[in-house]
Structure 1
Amino acid sequence: MAQRKAVRWHIAVFLAPAVLVYTALMIVPLFGTLNLSLFNLDGAKARVFVGLANFVTLFGDPRWSAAFWNALANNAWFFVVHMLVQNPIGIALAAILSTPKLRMAAFYRTAIFIPTILSFVIVGFVWKLILSPIWGIAPGMLDAVGLKSLFAPWLGKEEYALTTLALISVWQFVGIPMMLIYAALLSIPDEVIEAAEMDGVTGASQFWKIKLPLILPSIGIISILTFVGNFNAFDLIYVAQGALAGPNFATDILGTFLYRTFFGFQLQLGDPHMGATIATAMFFIILIGVCFYLFAIQTRLRRYQF
């Protein structure tokens, strides 16, 4: 007679607290938001089911669609700057810091990672002071190296404000891809590196031909984390430019657009139902991006994993 396997109840016991907390803080609010986006208020201020009418308004009504597409385009540019600047710099820093002969590598890692733990309020306020054309130190620093003519009120010009804020965000968070890639580089087996050196592949050539292909899965993870983080961004824009995301909504992203719509701001009344509609649109944008990565990119990167 076959012996019955013991039921591993301890697994459920250990998982239960995390599952309950995640359900209470993430799953329930998510379905609440999805439900709220399907309702609206009629003339008597009664809640009525409208189906997808709020989405039709968001994408079809010029008063809403113009602001939504502007915020989405700004969000996309915010993400592109991080992908083209933050992640390559993080990879380069990790490659340099993983060099065995580099002295004080621990100090450099710590110094680069420190801005990551700073509050958005501190970062936004300090950089506004630095870049201020009136009392900021940026004009004086550029003048010291003979480049004062290049200075402009970057946070006050429509064509520069969003890129400037994106670069500030890059400065704050470049430590995250650096540390993840650094850990990936250290996980490469010594036998692989020794074999490459025996074949005469060293230095930069070794990184491009051997190490980079092996850390592609980690680069993919960093890319999707950058995508999710940037399309959920809000804090830095709000601190530096306010809820109106000036100048003239040039730095308006989906997060600030959602905030103004849901809670209201100044003379604009809050509309929880349209705010939930915007939040739902953000959820599906992020979901589509994550699914594309998982099914179209991650499957191709598996062959590089050990």
Structure 2
Amino acid sequence: MAAPKVRWHIAVFLAPAVLVYTAIMIIPLFGTLNLALYGEEGFRGFQNFRVLFGDPLWSDAFWNALGNNIWFFVIHMLVQNPIGVLLAALLASPRLRFAAAYRTAIFVPTILSFVIVGFVWKLILSPLWGIAPSMLGAIGLKGLFAPWLGQEGSALTTLALISVWQFVGIPMMLIYAALLSIPDEVLEAAEMDGITGWALFRKVQLPLILPAIGIISILTFVGNFNAFDLIYVSQGALAGPDFATDILGTFLYRTFFGFQLQLGDPNMGAAIATAMFLIILAGVCLYLFGVQRRLRRYQF
């Protein structure tokens, strides 16, 4: 019996991607994990993590950043993704005119730089020279305006909604593609049974795109817990006012590189980065083994 043929060409084609991924992802990851176990005096084991979670000087800032990160993620899940699904459903309607123009207009903000988005929205919402007060005044709602980015209770929510505005086009396009992949025969059969309009989307299309919604949810989770740019551009490394917008990314930046009077501590910064990695890993594993298995996939 002849020995099975070894398909070396598969390894040849995979090798470049594996080497690049290893160089820029795997090696830095293990380097960070190793750095988190050391300090100025040498090997410390898990002492950096005990300090991070147990010392009030570190733990208060860490839990504040984690709580803000969770709220940032929740707003995206409750606002961005439902709006993305709704927009996709509207754009997928064959009765809608100029759908391509609407898709382009909604998706354009996702390709803008964080620097541009943060700077422009700071100008818009500025109580001194922003246009938001005059726009609200034009419709008789100027009394509702407040310096949202300067108030502790509203700054983080405002930034999260700005992020929603910028990235709502991504879930919209992914859901739109999932809706287009549903065969016309399925929709026609449902319409013959008298299911039309909103009922068609809720009873037929929505169950078929649940796997796509699940993927969007986990991408939102990973993206939000890696967030940094918008907060840094809008509120600076101190994530004001009074750390009300501080998230794990800005906390990591100040700790690792230092900022103003705070000296950089690469070892504690690596401990924070490791904690972020474990949080994201736990969320992804929860989705893969706890949620994705329960989503029914349909093959057409």
What is aligned with 1:45? none
Q: 1:123 and 1:287 mapped to 2: Cα distance?
A: 29
Given that 1:217 and 1:305 are in contact with CA atoms closer than 8 Å, whether structure 2 keeps it comes out as: no
1:237 corresponds, among 231, 240, 250, to: 231
**Matching residue's letter, 2:20:** V
- Mind listing any 5+ residue stretches in structure 1 that lack a counterpart? 43-47
Quote the offset at 1:94 in angstroms: 0.1
Question: Within 5 Å, which residues of 2 pair with 1:1-306?
Answer: 2-42=1-41, 48-301=42-295, 303-306=296-299
Cα deviation 1:116-135 (Å, max 9, x = unaligned): 00000000000000000000
Quote the offset at 1:194 in angstroms: 1.1
Quote the offset at 1:10 in angstroms: 1.4
Quote the offset at 1:11 in angstroms: 1.1
Q: 2:121 and 2:15 mapped to 1: Cα distance?
A: 43
Partner SS for 2:39: strand
Quote the offset at 1:22 in angstroms: 0.6
Cα deviation 1:40-83 (Å, max 9, x = unaligned): 012xxxxx111000000000000000000000000000000000
Quote the offset at 1:7 in angstroms: 2.0
Quote the offset at 1:8 in angstroms: 1.5
- Mind listing any 5+ residue stretches in structure 2 that lack a counterpart? none
Deviates more, 1:3-12 or 1:77-86: 3-12
**Matching residue's letter, 2:211:** P
Q: Number of residue pairs matched? A: 299
Q: 1:86 and 1:163 mapped to 2: Cα distance?
A: 13
Q: 1:298 and 1:95 mapped to 2: Cα distance?
A: 23
Cα deviation 1:152-208 (Å, max 9, x = unaligned): 000000000000000000000000000000000001111211110110001000000
Given that 1:213 and 1:304 are in contact with CA atoms closer than 8 Å, whether structure 2 keeps it comes out as: no
**Matching residue's letter, 1:102:** L
Q: 1:114 and 1:23 mapped to 2: Cα distance?
A: 33
Partner SS for 2:154: helix
Given that 1:78 and 1:230 are in contact with CA atoms closer than 8 Å, whether structure 2 keeps it comes out as: yes
Q: 1:13 and 1:100 mapped to 2: Cα distance?
A: 46
Quote the offset at 1:13 in angstroms: 1.2
Partner SS for 1:224: helix
Partner SS for 1:159: coil
When the two chains are superposed, the root-mean-square deviation of aligned CA atoms in Å is 0.7
Partner SS for 2:90: helix
**Matching residue's letter, 2:46:** L
Q: 2:110 and 2:72 mapped to 1: Cα distance?
A: 18
Quote the offset at 1:3 in angstroms: 3.5
**Matching residue's letter, 2:154:** Y
Q: 1:21 and 1:113 mapped to 2: Cα distance?
A: 30
Given that 1:37 and 1:280 are in contact with CA atoms closer than 8 Å, whether structure 2 keeps it comes out as: yes
**Matching residue's letter, 1:196:** A
Quote the offset at 1:5 in angstroms: 3.4
Q: 2:249 and 2:264 mapped to 1: Cα distance?
A: 15
